[in-house]
Structure 1
Amino acid sequence: MTRLTRTIAVAALATALAVVSGCSGSNESDGSGSDGSLEKVTYLTSFGNFGRDSYAWVAKDKGFFEEAGFDVDIKAGNGTGDNIKTVVGGQAEFTPIDLTGGLLQMGNGQAKDFVAVAGIQQRTMAAIITLEGNGITTPKDLEGKKLADTPGSVVRNLFPTYAKLAGVDASKVEWVNGQAQTLIGTLAGGQVQGIGQFVVGKPTVEGVAKKTAVVLPYSDIMTDLYGNVLITSTKLANEEPDKVRRFTQALLKGLEYSIAHPQEAGEILHKNVSTAQAAPAAAELELMGAYVRSAGSGAAVGTLDSERIARSIAILQGAGAIPPGLTPEQIINFDLAPKS
């Protein structure tokens, strides 16, 4: 082999190695390790394992998380207050919480060091659900009744504001503590006359109680409030923004798929959580579709609007639920949130 031939061969080999090296580094963008391993992440559902939270299981089952470089451990959440503590404490990286509940927690100094990075529902789904025969058809009928919910839930924490705006004397309503998985049974068994729930819980309540459910949506009184938002710790958002973006995109992909295929999503939830029934889960997702998509605005799924959040803050401040001073930028990381 001549010197020129050897030189050409070496150059060709170097070029080939560079191409291979470049290809082998492509996994870095999806978060997987150099050996193809997936990054472990813990995710909390918003509240138990109902149809409204099945989109996380769908993102896992359909491979959306894996495509983004994650091995996700999905655990049942227990409402806004507890979920914030778990994420801030480092026991989980991501969870949905009700944005209004987060505003109340942050505005009153009960929680900090977390930020929202995507919207799940464009309107609040917070509600009180009762059963026909309990004498509750309007907010005023709640006076003199016993209601149950978890202590940290947004329905319970927002109730004084809801009551004030709806003309209800909150001091005449008794609240007792309950757990996410037992609330519906408590209502069905007659221990309480109403429970804190999301509006999409109506099919599940009716399936357990075998009675017609009556729903009092908070959105009838407070129209500007968002529903659930995806949160993470401020530390993770600041230190690993690419990780947050990749996880958010994968989760929202699961959300969009679930809304478009509610029957399949219900079956996926049941496959992963045997106590969750597919049919009620699918019915919840069908109801939730109208809350996930921003009616008339054309905004992409997951977006958050600063002006709407400012109006939500103003509603809470006007009702005396939080003191002045809170701004949208304190609770939302608009750099990480999907753009409309």
Structure 2
Amino acid sequence: MNVMLKTGVATLALIASGVAALAADKVVMQIDGAAVPFYSPLYAGVENGFFADQDIEVEFIYAGASDILTNIAAGNVDFGFPNGDAVVAAAANGLPVKVVHTTYQRGIGALLAKAETGIETYADLKGKTVAVTSLGSPNYLQLQVGLQDAGLSLDDIKLEVVSTGAIVQALQSDQVDAIVFSELRKYNLEGAGVDVTMILSNDFLPSFGNVVVTSSRLLEENPDLVKRFTNAVTASYEWVIDGHVDDALEISFEKYTPTWADQKELLSTAFKNSFVASVWQSDLTREKGLGAADLDAWQANADILAKYEVVDEAPKAADFVVDPSSIGE
């Protein structure tokens, strides 16, 4: 009798376990660019079970920012992780997208040039060859605003489009005079012995780096899933901030980005000096938690893009940006 009772209990436990496993929501998150260690908090979130804790099974796929937003609007993917400038452009074009976690509290776009070129301001780009990764990239938007702010236009430079995997090498090998890409690549160049001049795009275009986006429809129809997803993202980034930068990088190298393993020291420095110090955290996040949305800053970003005619008309931030704390209320 006792054996039968124990067997029955064990069977019920297995059934319950199976039901729980089947209950996990499977979602697809499309990330900007390619699999790189800069996304290690998300990778660590999966491996550490932070998404599973929220009953979510997530698959990561990759694309350019504009494609991500098109896919989000069409319902082809559940969540995206594009750059904030691209989200503003998408909202201005009427795409039904919602920022639900302002993960990067500021933009990380930057113009990088070898110090020996003498390029120290955007005005110095006149007649120079400048590269971006695509004409749909956030950095292309930043380049246009930077040039206009300096009294120049795209006609004053020679524009090159170079893939994400080759753009840093293009600068290093003098194929181009400058690139508009990510401030984090400054560490790669300096690690290779290159003296670099950097102009942060955020200095003239207050903006946001990667943010979590979903569709208006998913947010309306399943706010619980969106809330749980943003909770998992927050937990993932909190873990890294709380002294686990190197651990997150090791997870990334082992399962997601093995070709980057020899750059651990450089990446660790970049994470601690940029991401942890001032990109993922701000005065606002210290008050309201990671991913908090500053609607005034979002509106300022949209207004500047409209001022320089990068978008036809500035969308209202409140129409496409949501603070994670308000989801489901």
The equivalent residue for 1:313 is 302
- Answer with 1 or 2: which has the greater Rg: 1
Structure 1 counterpart of 2:19, which letter? S
> In structure 1, what is the equivalent of residue 235 of structure 2?
253
Name the residue aligned to 1:140. Answer: 123
Provide TM-score, normalisation by structure 1: 0.81
Shift in Å at residue 246 of structure 1? 0.6
2:294 partner amino acid: D
* Residue 176 of structure 2 corresponds to residue 187 of structure 1: no
Does residue 55 of structure 1 match 2:61? no
SS of aligned partner of 2:117: coil
Report the equivalent of 1:92: 77
- TM-fit CA distance, 1:276: 2.4
1:178-327 equivalent positions in 2, closer than 5 A: 178-207=162-191, 209-222=192-205, 224-260=206-242, 261-272=244-255, 273-277=257-261, 278-286=264-272, 287-289=274-276, 290-295=278-283, 298-324=287-313, 326-327=315-316
Distance 1:181 1:337 in 2: 38
Question: Using a 3 Å threshold, how does the CA distance of structure 1 residues 188 and 159 change in structure 2: closer, same or farther?
Answer: same
Contact 1:244–1:336 (8 Å) recurs in 2: no
Distance 2:325 2:287 in 1: 20
Question: Aligned pairs, how many?
Answer: 309
Change (3 A) 1:94 1:210: farther
Distance 2:232 2:225 in 1: 11
1:159 is aligned with what amino acid?
L
Residue type of the partner of 2:112? I
Asked whether 1:71 is paired with 2:63, we answer no
Other-structure match for 2:156: 172
Contact persistence 1:56–1:74 (CA under 8 A): no
CA contact (8 A) 1:47 1:180 kept: yes
CA RMSD of aligned residues (A): 2.9
Cα deviation 1:294-334 (Å, max 9, x = unaligned): 13763421000222222222222222333346211222134
2:144 to 160, 178, 188: 160
Between the aligned partners of 2:130 and 2:80, the Cα distance in structure 1 is 26
Paired residue type of 2:233: L
* TM-superposed deviation, 1:293: 0.9
Which amino acid letter does the alignment assign opposite residue 308 of structure 1? A
Can you give the 5+ residue segments of structure 2 that lack an aligned partner in the other structure? 1-11
Q: Which stretch shifts more, 232-241 or 85-94? A: 85-94
Q: Whole-Å Cα distance in 1 between the matches of residues 245 and 151 of structure 2? A: 37
**3-state SS of 1:225 partner:** coil
> How far off is 1:217 after superposition?
0.5
Cα distance, 1:271–1:212 mapped onto 2, change above 3 Å: farther
Aligned counterparts of 1:259 and 1:201: Cα–Cα separation in 2: 20
Q: 1:337 to 1:173 in 2, by over 3 A?
A: farther
Q: 1:183-236: CA deviations, max 9, x gaps?
A: 2222223222222222122213434x54133221111223x4233221012222
SS at match of 2:268: helix
TM-aligned CA distance change 1:332 to 1:257, over 3 Å = same
Matched, 1:331 2:317: no
The residue identity in structure 2 corresponding to 1:155 is N
Distance 1:271 1:162, change over 3 A: same
**CA spacing shift, 1:309–1:51, aligned 2, 3 Å:** same
What letter corresponds to residue 227 of structure 1 in structure 2? G
TM-superposition CA deviations, 1:264-287 (whole Å, max 9, x none): 122111112112233333233211
CA separation of 1:150 and 1:307: change in aligned 2, threshold 3 A: same
Structure 1: tracts of 5 or more residues without a match: 1-20
Q: Is the 8 A contact 1:51 1:285 kept in 2?
A: no
Query: Following the alignment from structure 1 to structure 2, what is the Cα–Cα distance between the partners of residues 125 and 192?
Result: 21
**Residue 36 (structure 1) aligned with residue 21 (structure 2):** yes
8 A contact 1:123–1:219 mirrored in 2: yes
1:127 aligns with 2:110: yes
Distance 1:77 1:201 in 2: 20
Q: Is the 8 A contact 1:118 1:338 kept in 2?
A: no
Q: Is the 8 A contact 1:258 1:285 kept in 2?
A: no
